[in-house]
Chain A
Amino acid sequence: DGGITQSPKYLFRKEGQNVTLSCEQNLNHDAMYWYRQDPGQGLRLIYYSQIVNDFQKGDIAEGYSVSREKKESFPLTVTSAQKNPTAFYLCASVGQGNQPQHFGDGTRLSIL
């Protein structure tokens, strides 16, 4: 079945450590997105990418980095510069036109 796979489901980060969250899709979608969700809050856009080798900052990009070397993959790195990384991270993709976003199951990141 086509879909979006995020891994790992749970991730723990030590102080000063960079961690990478994986997002893979087999829907042949061009656009991919990363969102952060804090408890009881909405989704805030971190980065988005319309095509391979191109990506744009969202509203809260500081302390995060991404790459888009393949159409299927859009990994997110939470760097040590992100001082409050504890949150639920959701990856999404969308095809052409007015299609809704497809979401992965999310990764919960916590600080050790």
Chain B
Amino acid sequence: AQKITQTQPGMFVQEKEAVTLDCTYDTSDPSYGLFWYKQPSSGEMIFLIYQGSYDQQNATEGRYSLNFQKARKSANLVISASQLGDSAMYFCAMREEGTGGFKTIFGAGTRLFVKA
């Protein structure tokens, strides 16, 4: 069963505008962590932001914020003031306890294009 769903294969945003990348997840574990990573064309994985299932406030890291709606099982990434360098693939991921330890699974990703 799909655990992490990113419904937007591609998104366009104008430079300096804000953009929201969607992520929904499925788990029955009350304790889990949600992550967003950026992957430029070079292939490296860059950690952006983390939200714990028990965190009361939405996480923020500079221009990145996570809109966490626990009841809806959604963890959308908001990028404010988009820059040309934000053009990349973005992955939502969830860490939960699996057999023999914690595992992190990823969504299919959203490719973001920032237009000048």
Contacts and interface: CB of A to CB of B under 8 A. Distances in A.
Interface of A: 31, 33, 35, 40-45, 48-51, 54-56, 58-59, 88, 90, 92, 94, 98, 100-101, 103, 105-106
Contacts, number: 65
B44 A103 contact: yes
Interface in B27-78: 33, 35, 37, 43-45, 47, 50, 52
B91 A31 contact: no
A98 B50 contact: yes
Contact of B103 (A33, A40, A41, A98): A33
Nearest to B102: A31
A54 B47 CA distance: 27
Given A41-B108, A42-B106, A45-B103, 13 more contacts: A31-B102, A33-B103, A40-B109, A43-B91, A43-B106, A45-B105, A49-B101, A50-B100, A58-B103, A88-B43, A101-B45, A101-B104, A105-B43
A43 B92 CA distance: 10
A105 B43 CA distance: 7
Interface string B82-116: 00000000010100001111111111110100000
Nearest to A103: B45
A94 B102 CA distance: 10
B98 A56 contact: yes
A100 B44 contact: no
B interface, how many residues as a size bin? 20 to 34
Nearest to B43: A106
Contacts of A44: 106
A57 to B, nearest CB: 8
A66 to B, nearest CB: 13
Contacts of A103: 44-45
Contact of B35 (A33, A45, A100): A100
A56 B99 contact: yes
5 contacts: A40-B111, A42-B108, A42-B109, A100-B35, A101-B104
A57 B104 CA distance: 13
